[in-house]
């Protein structure tokens, strides 16, 4: 990606949300900020909850011509009429997902901090490789993705990259020139005004 291209945005849902409230919040964000894709990233494994949430978010997203993918739950993609799946196990499931969902589906892979995993995902047919966390986090092993990974990736690899996890305005400014997408979720949903929080976060992108 060249320095003159602005990264696109993937909007990641909270791990749990109120179906009476969140679809309207999502709609408000999509109406005011240009978003390329919504990622349904619920922590629950309750099928009914996932189906109801997926249905509501699909209606909001597709009404605004925004693609929507679901995290991990491959079998729910076609059932819910979604655009694809976001895999959380790196490159391991990419080939099988592509075989199941076909050439037109969006298939992305979260690859943590591993350049090798990202390259393997791309070779297996992933549409993007997501890396994170970008910012400081006490979760997991506390690892962070180095700027050099994105800098190298942007020059060598054609598969789009997503930078996500513990983003700040300063990190958006720093990584903006070397990533294709920012994955934004928890950074804005805790705010009383997610739209304002998102606009502040991405202000460095112009």
Q: Check if the beta carbon of residue 59 is closer than 8 Å to that of residue 65.
A: no
Give per-residue burial for 27-62: e unless 16+ CB within 10 Å, then b: bebbeebebebbbbbbeeeeeeebeebbbbbbebbe
Residue 2 falls within a domain, yes or no? no
Residue 69 falls within a domain, yes or no? yes
> pLDDT digit string (tens) for 124-158?
999 999 999 999 877 667 789 999 999 999 999 99
Strands (E) across the chain are located at: 8-12, 37-40, 67-71, 84-87, 106-110, 128-131, 161-164, 181-184
Long-range contacts of 104-112 (CB under 8 A, 24+ apart): 105/77, 106/37, 106/67, 106/69, 108/69, 108/84, 108/162, 110/86, 112/143, 112/145
> pLDDT digit string (tens) for 48-76?
999 999 999 999 999 999 999 999 999 99
Residue 174 falls within a domain, yes or no? yes
The domain total for the chain is: 1
Residue 24 confidence (pLDDT) above 60: yes
Residue 182 confidence (pLDDT) above 60: yes
Per-residue CA distances from 50 to 41, 194, 206 (Å)? 10, 22, 35
pLDDT at residue 140, rounded to an integer: 66
Residue 16 falls within a domain, yes or no? yes
Strands 37-40 and 161-164: unpaired
pLDDT at residue 139, rounded to an integer: 65
Residue 3 falls within a domain, yes or no? no
For residue 74, the enclosing domain spans: 8-205
Residue 1 falls within a domain, yes or no? no
Residue 85 falls within a domain, yes or no? yes
Percent of the chain with pLDDT over 90: 93
pLDDT at residue 1, rounded to an integer: 34
Residue 64 falls within a domain, yes or no? yes
pLDDT at residue 2, rounded to an integer: 37
CATH of the domain at 74: 3.20.20.70
Judged on CB neighbours under 10 Å (0-12, 13-18, 19+), 197 is middle
pTM beyond 0.75: yes
Phi then psi for residue 106, to 5 deg, are -80, 125
Specify the range with the lowest mean pLDDT, choosing from 40-49, 93-102, 139-148: 139-148
- pLDDT category at 101 given cuts 50, 70, 90 is very high
């Amino acid at each position: 990606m060249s320095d003159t291209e602005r990264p696109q945005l993937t909007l990641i849902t909270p791990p749990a949300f109120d179906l009476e409230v969140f679809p309207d919040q999502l709609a408000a964000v999509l109406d005011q900020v240009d978003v390329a894709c919504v990622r349904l990233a619920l922590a629950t494994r309750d099928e009914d909850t996932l189906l109801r949430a997926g249905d509501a978010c699909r209606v909001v997203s597709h009404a605004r011509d925004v693609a929507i993918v679901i995290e991990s739950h491959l079998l729910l993609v076609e059932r819910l009429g979604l655009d694809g799946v976001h895999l959380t196990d790196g490159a391991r499931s990419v080939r099988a997902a592509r075989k199941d969902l076909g050439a037109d589906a969006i298939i992305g892979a979260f690859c943590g901090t591993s350049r090798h995993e990202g390259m393997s995902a791309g070779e297996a047919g992933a549409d993007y490789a997501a890396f994170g966390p970008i910012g400081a986090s006490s979760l997991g092993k506390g690892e962070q993705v180095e700027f050099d990974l994105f800098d190298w990736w942007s020059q060598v690899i054609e598969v789009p990259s997503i930078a996500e996890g513990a983003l700040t305005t300063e990190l958006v400014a720093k990584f903006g020139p070397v990533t294709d997408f920012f994955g934004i979720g928890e950074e804005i949903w805790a705010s009383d005004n997610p739209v304002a929080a998102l606009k502040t976060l991405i202000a460095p992108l112009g």
